[in-house]
Structure formats: structure tokens, C-alpha cells
Amino acid sequence: MGFRDYDTRLAAYCVIVQECAGEPHVLLSMLREGNSRWGRMWTLPGGGVEYDEGFEAAAIREVREETGYDVRLTSMLGARTFVPRTRTGSRDPRPFKSAAVLFEAEVTGGTLGTLEVDGSTEFAAWVPLADVLPQDAGDLTDHTSEGPDRSRDGVPVMSTTGYALRLWAGRS
């Protein structure tokens, strides 16, 4: 398939981890029902890159919109392409590919609370890292997925989130 035969969505996400009550917590956004075929699910703060912005600016803007926090990017963790194995439930018949750049960031200001109006984010929260960090490293080169990982309490976690957290945990 040629590159003109499918749609590409450019995205940028941030891994933001800080100590809360003596254990590492990661800042996550809860996607609203209806924004994924799996229903409500945890994702990293971030999202689509607008036509007139770069990955860095998009990551900073998206974190602010979804969480209420201002951030500073501290490093690039990597990138991931994602192609759904099936288009079940999709409203668009064209094949789709996501290309995401993954950053590590730190909070520099703001207050927790989504600033989106009618956006994809229901709320943001600091979640214990152990609750959402995938235990099985899996194949980090695979760019397809049958569906999301699951958090300790059973809430779906977007597969790119698990991938980014594995990169973050293994960076040292």
C-alpha cells in the first residue's frame, strides 16, 4: 500500500512522573466514552499535532488543555507508529496510521483540571505508576495492536501509553 492510500495522524504525548505519597505516579488523561472503540480509557496527555505546529509545541499545548498543567519537555523518549489490526467500529473506511512522538516532561505550573471544552478528555489524574505500567515488555517494535492494555483495576490503557511507559522505565 502506498503512502497516499491511507490517512496519517501525527500526535505528540508526554510521560510525566512524580512522587506522590512516597511512590511514583504518572499523569494520565481519561478519554471520554465514545472516543475509542474500547470506551473510556487512560491515555498519556497529548494528542494531534495541528497543521501549523511542531511536535514539541503540540505536546505542550495538549498537556495544558487536557490536564491544566504547564510543562517543560525534558527529553524525547522515542516514537511509535500504530496501525489498528482491524477497523471494527470505525466510521471511516480508509486505512489509518498514527505516528506519535513521545516526550518526557515535568510540571512547571498550573493546576490539575482539564481545560478542554467538548474535547476528548473527561478528566486528568495522577495514577500510581505500578497500576498502569505493563508487566510484560512485549515486542517494542510491533506497531499493531488488537486493543489496549489493562490497568490494575481493569480500566483500559491505550497501547501507546504502555509502550511509552516501557520506554520511560527502561531508559536508564
Q: For residue 81, what is the domain's CATH number? A: 3.90.79.10
Question: How many folded domains does the chain comprise?
Answer: 1
Q: Which three cell numbers stand for residue 130?
A: 505500578
* For residues 9-29, average pLDDT: 95
Q: What is the mean pLDDT of residues 136-141?
A: 54
pLDDT per position as a tens digit, 41-78: 889 999 999 999 999 999 999 999 999 999 999 999 99
Task: Please tell me the distance from the alpha carbon of residue 49 to that of residue 23, in angstroms, as a whole number.
Answer: 32
How do residues 73-128 score in pLDDT, each as one tens digit?
999 999 988 777 665 555 667 888 889 999 999 999 999 998 887 788 999 999 99
Q: Which residue segment(s) compose the domain that 26 sits in?
A: 3-169
For residues 9-28, give the mean pLDDT. 95
Range of lowest pLDDT (26-40, 41-55, 130-144) = 130-144
Neighbouring residues of 170: CB distance < 8 A, sequence distance ≥ 6: 137
Band of residue 36 on the pLDDT scale cut at 50, 70, 90: low
Report the pLDDT value the prediction gives residue 49, as an integer from 0 to 100: 96
* Chain Cα centroid distance, residue 100: 9
pTM: 0.87
* Confidence tier at 148 by pLDDT (50, 70, 90): low
How many of the other CB atoms lie within 10 Å of CB of 33? 10
